[in-house]
Every structure is written in C-alpha cells, then in structure tokens.
Structure 1
C-alpha cells in the first residue's frame, strides 16, 4: 500500500508570525504566494485545517485555476480535495460559511467534543464527524482512517496548534514555508508551530532541499529527517 505523504504549507512574516496580534486584521496581498498555495492544495487528496483558522477565515481555500483543475481530473482526483477541520472541542458554529461550500467536509473531533457540543446534531448533517479519541485526538487512528479511505496526499494549512500536533505525532514529511517581506511583531501573535514546544533533543530536524525567491518573497522547502 502506498504510504501517506503529509506536507505542511505555511506562510510567515520575516519575524516568524503567521498573523497579526488581532487575527481578524486584514493581511497584505501576496499573489505569488497565493498561486503557490493553490498549486500545493491542488496536489492534495485531503486538506487539514485547524478550527481556529477556519473560524477566522470563514471558508476553506479552494482551487480555481482551470489548469490545476484539469490536472486533478487527469490524475483521477475529485475537483476539490476533501477539507477536514480539526476541532477536538467541536467548537464550530453551524452557520460557518465553510459548512455550505460545495466540497466534501470532514471534522476530526473527540468523544468529549461530541458529547458537550450543543451543535453536534446539526454539524453531523453538514459534515462527516469523525471521533478520534475520548479527550485527545489520536493521530494514529486518524492516519489509519485516512489510509483506509484510499488517501495518499495530505496537505496541512495550519494553524500553529495543528502543525504542532502533527509534528509531535511525527506525521509531517515536507514543509513549505513562505517568508513574507513584512514584520508583524507582537509577543502574542501566533507562530507557525504552537503547542508546548520541543526540547532540542526531541525537536524535528529538517533538511533544506529547495529555495526560491520571487521578488522579495522567499519560498523554502524542507524535508523532515526521520
């Protein structure tokens, strides 16, 4: 059976922030990075997105480029990848625009989230709710399910808590990091990898395999050293 490839695609400022202190504040426009993001998403069978990101953005990122859509058809993929929101608490409002997009939707959650959410019944009608553990998400169980569904290419789009969880679980194969030419600052502005952090002895180590510069934007491609 073909192994599952997981790629994290993130963009951050030159000082390592993925959004301003107020995540609702408008960010600058970076068309080259947007095209890069669309290409990476176009390769995915499944896209993982953290609940905080989807609550902030409102909708899931989808592919619009006709050439990328045509390439997916040639590869035998659906027009859009499955979008899976990761929310252990199932704290997702049913009127979220994401839940009415014309895409296949999954939500990875927990038994506790299903029990405590007053919207679980409604959300069950709008997406496939997948229980991955009593109180914590079990990523081994998640990846067993992903394999059983015949999914080979997973792209994770953050935020920082999701990226940290995948890194801790040892599931990230490749990292694409875009460096935006701007400084956000802010002690509490989110960074690409949140969570509890890693001791140096346990930190994931990366091999740089590609760099690309377009104008003042820099694109870095790393592979996780196993």
Structure 2
C-alpha cells in the first residue's frame, strides 16, 4: 500500500507497522476517543444485498482487524450485529502479545447497543466468543429480558432510561475505563453519534466498485448535523482500495 497525502514522499510504501502508526489513537488519552469505521462503494452504498461484507477487499479487511487490535472495546448497534451475524473478536498469540504490550486486555469485548433488548440469546454474539459480550441497554427493557441475556453470557449494563444517546455511550465507556473506542456501525447509530457531537475520528474505506441498489449511506439521522473534519491520511492499495482517516477539528462533546 502507498500513502497518497504526503507530498514529500509520494510513493511511500507502507508495511503493517506503518499502518498501525497511522491508525494509532492519540497518546495519553484522559477521556474516551470515539472512532467510527465504515466501508463504502464508490457510489455511496454501505452494503451489498444487506451486508457490508460484500464490499470487503484485502486491504479493508487488514485495517478492520488492525482497528480492532488497537481498541479497548468494539461498539455495534443491535441491527448491525444481527445483519452481519456478529461473533466475538478473533485473536491470536501475536495479537494478544501486542495488545498486552500496549496495556490492553487480551481480547476487545463486543458491546452491543440496544434500547429494546431485542437480541436472540442463541446468536453468535453469545455462542462464539472468548470474552463475554456487553449489552448496553435501557431501563425500559423488562427484567425478564435482561435476565435472559445475562443467562446467555452477556454483561448487561443499563445506561439510559429509554433512548440511548451518544453522551450515554461516552459516559458508560468512561465508567468502564475505556478510552479507545471503536464503533462499527450501523448507519443509524453513527448518525445519532454525529447528531450528539461525540464522534472524534472516522476511518472510511472506499472499495473500487459501483453497487447501485437501495443501501443506506454510512450515516443516517432525522436531521442534518455538520461536523468539520480534517484529513489525517489517504492510503491506496494496488487494487484501487482507498483507506482514509478523518479527525474532527475541535474536541467532541
């Protein structure tokens, strides 16, 4: 892969260590840093036939794994967890060692956001994982439903009375001691976090295909909410995949 946005070295070739440095979280964080990761077709589709996996390229998959490696926790909306058939984050001995050296837990937990608690206890999220999944939910969910998720192995945490806001997610992450947050969607969760002014960082891959169809864009909310971002990097793979990172101009919140 080559970095495109550095005029001093326009053909700079990047290895895995270089990519980890490009995607590193700010050093010495004292509060949660909300990073969002998405892949999109060139014409703006966030999925093919309902799933983002149809847009994946080798470069995107490499960075997807790297972003997980660098994070304290992986946030995902319940709809995306269901559609993408989420299981726990994968690991290896080398990954565990790198995370330990960075002061991180061996495996980042998946934290699913659901104000309704509508998760199937039999889904892979609960049955195919090496660490307990976390369920961020609301007090509007019945005790019976919360207990069924806990019995399936989830760490159920009530973080809101009803609707779950971006501020509630940041507060829950602060309470848990997680500063390096990675959110993997979906579009409505991302849109809500933009509207709530809690997004610090967007990692966006453009895969070299046109998809058409009726897929969502990467963020969706009832009203527009503009957040100024600055380019952190542009990286291109030989197959045309473009990996970008954008950081907000001013602190979130």
Relative to structure 1, the CA distance from residue 158 to residue 29 in structure 2 (aligned partners, 3 Å threshold; closer, same or farther) is closer
1:57 aligns with 2:84: yes
Deviations 1:193-224 (Å, cap 9, x if unpaired)?
A: 012141xxx41121112101002100111011
Instruction: Please give the alpha-carbon distance, in whole angstroms, between the structure 2 residues aligned to 1:31 and 1:128.
Output: 33
Partners of 1:3 and 1:152 within 8 A in 2:
yes
Alignment equivalent of 1:214, drawn from 225, 230, 237: 237
What are the ranges of 5 or more consecutive residues in structure 1 without an aligned counterpart?
Answer: none
Relative to structure 1, the CA distance from residue 175 to residue 50 in structure 2 (aligned partners, 3 Å threshold; closer, same or farther) is same
Instruction: Please give the alpha-carbon distance, in whole angstroms, between the structure 2 residues aligned to 1:27 and 1:144.
Output: 34
Aligned length: 219
TM-score under structure 1 normalisation?
0.88
Partners of 2:165 and 2:196 within 8 A in 1:
no
Alignment equivalent of 1:40, drawn from 67, 71, 92: 67
Relative to structure 1, the CA distance from residue 14 to residue 152 in structure 2 (aligned partners, 3 Å threshold; closer, same or farther) is same
Mapping 1:173-188, distance limit 5 Å: 173-186=200-213, 188=214
Deviation >4 Å, runs of 4+: none
The alignment's C-alpha RMSD in Å is: 2.1
Alignment equivalent of 1:189, drawn from 209, 215, 222: 215
TM-score under structure 2 normalisation?
0.79
Q: Secondary structure at the match of 1:151?
A: coil
Mapping 1:1-226, distance limit 5 Å: 2-20=30-48, 22-23=49-50, 27-60=54-87, 62-64=89-91, 66-100=93-127, 101-112=129-140, 114-115=141-142, 119-125=145-151, 126-186=153-213, 188-198=214-224, 202-215=225-238, 216-226=240-250
Q: Which moved more, 1:70-79 or 1:26-35?
A: 26-35
Deviations 1:90-112 (Å, cap 9, x if unpaired)?
A: 11111101112112311111222
Deviations 1:44-92 (Å, cap 9, x if unpaired)?
A: 1011011111101222362435443321011232221121001111111
What are the ranges of 5 or more consecutive residues in structure 2 without an aligned counterpart?
Answer: 1-28
